[in-house]
Amino acid sequence: MTTLNAAANDTAATAGPRGFASPQGVAGSQRAHTAPANASSVELRNITRTFGAVTALSDFSLTIEPGEMVALLGPSGCGKTTALRALAGLEDINAGTILIDERDVSDLPAYKRDMAMVFQAYSLMPHMTVRQNLEFVLKIRKISAAERASITERYLDMVGLSGHAAHFPHQLSGGQRQRVAIARALAVNPKVLLLDEPLSALDAKVRVQLRDEIRALQLESGITALFVTHDQEEALAMADRVAVMYQGKIAQIGAPQDIYERPESEFVARFIGQVNDISGTVSGQHATTAFGSVPVLPGSVTGAATVLVRPENIAIEPAGSGAPASTVGIIEQFNYLGSVASVAVRCGDVLINAQVPARDGQHLVLGSAVTVALREAPALAV
């Protein structure tokens, strides 16, 4: 049974009332990683989980450093939720070992693993007020009444809901309900915070706001966290590292920028963001295409290849008189998207999709001739 111990009080002492950081301030790879001394490490080692003929996890391994937030990202059915539930102790495993702080917890039931989970559905007790929802989880952990009250106040304050303590869940917005669920999860001072698509039920604007708040809370409390999402932007914005899953395994794990800019496989390159398929020839460290040459990423093939180029790595300029014919195309589509514009250019049989800053796109008129060139950014050739 979890109790609030000295470590809990440390967390409480540093928790205090807090504001939430801006998205730029907390974005995944920009974080200076300093975990508190009491943060836990997590390791899932060679986990296999089958459901009849379906293999949900196949020799799956993942290590989460103390105080780190890792996002599990992948297509539907790749095993994200199964991995999270296996760590929580809510899912049996056929093989493998789960370690918390290097201690094998594989055979421990969920309630002894000292983890807290936040689900997509808010899972608050509907007949209890916000305050009672928090106090309840502390009461079953045998925290004294006085301490319960003070912990509850502190965590409600932390998520900006002190003024709603007497409200029932149905009197709150979706975002507020999820804040209560997060406060309730953190209030028990778990070793690990597990988030299963916590933002999926919210509308777009609240999602962005709440994801920044969750990330700020996680950074400030220093808790080790794993969250499951199929929203790429969410994963890239929130996590220290993103684990892209495919068919029960991790296809690639790394800092958000590495995952996006240095995909190691065709699956990851295509799954994260968008790519243009451009024919080329790879020789040594470079691929040569009709639109110029680019460095290739490790793992690229040699010889005839398809070079996978991100839309923002394509430069579009009005076609001058001396432009080589192979680089000239006609603007077939122009979509103004606010800060950026998406431009589709027809070059013979190939449709090239580029993304340019909207202010640079004013001269890009439908039907006009432009040149297409590849920027120097490394690309994967497959």
**Which one of residues 82, 252, 306, 327 is an interface residue with ligand ATP (CB under 6 A)?**
82
In 3D, which of 196, 201, 224, 198 has the Cα closest to residue 213?
A: 198
- Told to check if 292 binds ligand ATP by CB under 6 A, we report no
Binding mask 163-202 for ligand ATP (x = CB under 6 A): ----------------------------------------
- Told to check if 79 binds ligand ATP by CB under 6 A, we report yes
Q: Rounded to whole angstroms, how far apart are CA atoms 249 and 267?
A: 13
Min CB(193)–ligand ATP separation in Å: 18
Q: Tell me, what DSSP letter sits at residue 200?
A: T
> Do the Cβ atoms of 118 and 196 come closer than 8 Å?
yes
- Told to check if 221 binds ligand ATP by CB under 6 A, we report no
Min CB(71)–ligand ATP separation in Å: 13
- Told to check if 56 binds ligand ATP by CB under 6 A, we report yes
Residues whose CB is less than 8 angstroms from the CB of residue 111 and which lie 6 or more positions away in sequence, other chains included: 1, 89
- Told to check if 121 binds ligand ATP by CB under 6 A, we report no
- Please choose, out of 77-85, 218-226, 259-267, 309-317, the segment that lies near ligand ATP by the rule CB under 6 A: 77-85
- Told to check if 336 binds ligand ATP by CB under 6 A, we report no
**Which one of residues 24, 34, 53, 76 is an interface residue with ligand ATP (CB under 6 A)?**
76
Q: Rounded to whole angstroms, how far apart are CA atoms 2 and 106?
A: 18
- Please choose, out of 48-56, 104-112, 285-293, 321-329, the segment that lies near ligand ATP by the rule CB under 6 A: 48-56
- Told to check if 51 binds ligand ATP by CB under 6 A, we report yes
C-alpha Rg value of the chain to the nearest Å: 24
- Told to check if 369 binds ligand ATP by CB under 6 A, we report no
Q: Which is nearer to ligand ATP, 78 or 216 (CB)?
A: 78
Q: Which is nearer to ligand ATP, 176 or 252 (CB)?
A: 252
- Torsion sign over Cα 199, 143, 6, 103: negative
In 3D, which of 263, 206, 274, 251 has the Cα closest to residue 80?
A: 251
Between helices 145-158 and 130-139, what is the axis angle to 10°? 130
Residues whose CB is less than 8 angstroms from the CB of residue 168 and which lie 6 or more positions away in sequence, other chains included: 126, 127, 128, 129, 130
- Told to check if 364 binds ligand ATP by CB under 6 A, we report no
**Helices vs. strands in the chain: H and E counts, helices first:** 10, 20
Q: Which helix (H) or strand (E) holds 125?
A: none
**Which one of residues 74, 190, 222, 263 is an interface residue with ligand ATP (CB under 6 A)?**
74
Tell me which residue has tokens 């995944």.
Answer: 28
Residues whose CB is less than 8 angstroms from the CB of residue 324 and which lie 6 or more positions away in sequence, other chains included: none
- # chain residues binding ligand ATP, by CB under 6 A: 12
Q: Which is nearer to ligand ATP, 15 or 87 (CB)?
A: 87
By CB under 6 A, name the binding residues for ligand ATP.
51, 54, 56, 74, 76-82, 230
